[in-house]
Structure 1
């Protein structure tokens, strides 16, 4: 039984994201993510201007007239959502937790995919794979995906991208679009990211909160790491402490973006206190320009 609060949240996400998909994202999604190959459709008689490389010589020899093979783009794609549900994603200083933002982004991508008749699958992970939902079509399937992301479950607290990426590469044999949604507070896994970037169209979505790098100046605060349980007392009003934290986060982000670039992964940075539509539109425009 899904708790009532979770059902309300799912419904709110469904309403918001369906409207966004209808108004903005579905068309851009289709223009950016196209089929992975060509599918044979029929043989027909040659028409001047046809590419001579498509001539079917067997049929031509049999009939005495030039015939060509006609192909159409293989439109249907598989979209895999790899969503981090570790303890650090339960943090949020604005209206949303990072987990809520992850669910909403996943919903936008999933509804955009099914609007274009693509299949959507889900891999939930912490430092292990927590759940795998095979790719399917349809709005009911998307609602199940959202529900699973928001579900309260006794999952492992830590984050590790490696098990999820390894599982994806073993389970999904054909090239897919893989959206990796995480705060990326995790051990390095450069090799597996590169392997995944070669096998699939990998898009990394970095979910963050503004106060992870810029603490409000509110004096002494006892912090606890949600993944390790470690506690530390910090003076958030102390300028050197604030500068050190900001520098550490800046360096972590820069190193991560370099790693993702070397893995041939696009990167989208989203924050809990900012609308995500502008960043997604910017991403789609960049992808369109590269085609």
Structure 2
């Protein structure tokens, strides 16, 4: 609730809301009037690191993140709320301040589609710290990422004390389970390192799935 104005006291007004300073000045009782603060700020923290450019089934992870971000952005502006965004890799690539309006939501979606990451890795920790410092008012924040990262738990807790945080994990089927396709050369999209993996080995596939599920639990 936020203060709106004062008016002369009327029968039935809550005496707890009498403004004694104004009442003394005018010689009549005056009541404070409040209105509900409905306006929210919705923030989208979108991982645009090179790992988001991977996809084997539905599309690239970036494509999936774009669709989800578009739904969230247009839902926010349809509700009369502000929406902003932070695009990050191992650094903050771009910050878009929260604003209202359909054109602003379209601008956010266009930037997700076109912005190329300059950073080489992924650091959610950096994005969360920037978010906490940049957005002072309590907001609802959606983190769209594959969460292939580490050491962001402390920053997550700090941001969570002030804002409502919702994590949306974006992943491909091959992030979870390797196909039985024999010897494959895999390339790390962020470091460029290559590794040969024998996907026909059941133990290798099991380890891959176990690692994914363990990381899923952390998120």
Is 2:192 aligned against 1:220?
Answer: no
SS of residue paired to 1:208 = coil
- Which residue is 2:106 aligned to? 143
Instruction: Point out where structure 2 has 5 or more consecutive residues left out of the alignment.
Output: none
Shift of 1:162: 1.8
- Which residue is 2:56 aligned to? 93
Mark the structure with the bigger radius of gyration: 2
Work out which of the residue numbers 41, 64, 69 in structure 1 matches 2:4.
Answer: 41
The separation in 2 between residues aligned to 1:196 and 1:182, in whole angstroms, is 16
Contact 2:199/2:205 (8 A) holds in 1: yes
SS of residue paired to 1:212 = helix
Please list the CA deviations of residues 230-284 of structure 1 after superposition, one character each: whole Å capped at 9, or x if unmatched. 2222222322111111111111211x23xxxxxxxxxxxxxxxxxxxxxxxxxxx
Please list the CA deviations of residues 55-104 of structure 1 after superposition, one character each: whole Å capped at 9, or x if unmatched. 33344554545x43221111222222111100111111212211011111
Identify, as 1 or 2, the structure richer in helix: 1
Work out which of the residue numbers 122, 126, 130 in structure 2 matches 1:163.
Answer: 126
Contact 2:87/2:94 (8 A) holds in 1: yes
Structure 1 42/152 Cα, relative in aligned 2: closer, same or farther at 3 Å? closer
Is 2:198 aligned against 1:235?
Answer: yes
Could you say what the CA RMSD is over the residues aligned between the two structures, in angstroms? Answer: 1.9
Work out which of the residue numbers 83, 106, 131 in structure 1 matches 2:46.
Answer: 83
Work out which of the residue numbers 115, 130, 134 in structure 1 matches 2:93.
Answer: 130
Work out which of the residue numbers 97, 116, 120 in structure 1 matches 2:79.
Answer: 116
Contact 2:46/2:143 (8 A) holds in 1: yes
Contact 2:44/2:86 (8 A) holds in 1: yes
Contact 2:90/2:126 (8 A) holds in 1: yes
Is 2:13 aligned against 1:54?
Answer: no
- Which residue is 1:265 aligned to? none
- Which residue is 2:136 aligned to? 173
Shift of 1:181: 1.2
The separation in 2 between residues aligned to 1:56 and 1:73, in whole angstroms, is 19
- Which residue is 1:103 aligned to? 66
Is 2:152 aligned against 1:189?
Answer: yes
The separation in 1 between residues aligned to 2:117 and 2:158, in whole angstroms, is 30
The separation in 2 between residues aligned to 1:82 and 1:96, in whole angstroms, is 20
- Which residue is 1:12 aligned to? none
Structure 1 152/178 Cα, relative in aligned 2: closer, same or farther at 3 Å? closer
The separation in 1 between residues aligned to 2:169 and 2:200, in whole angstroms, is 27
SS of residue paired to 2:170 = strand
Deviates more, 1:50-59 or 1:170-179: 50-59
Q: How many residues are paired up? A: 217
Normalised to the residue count of structure 2, the TM-score between the two structures is 0.90
- Which residue is 1:287 aligned to? none
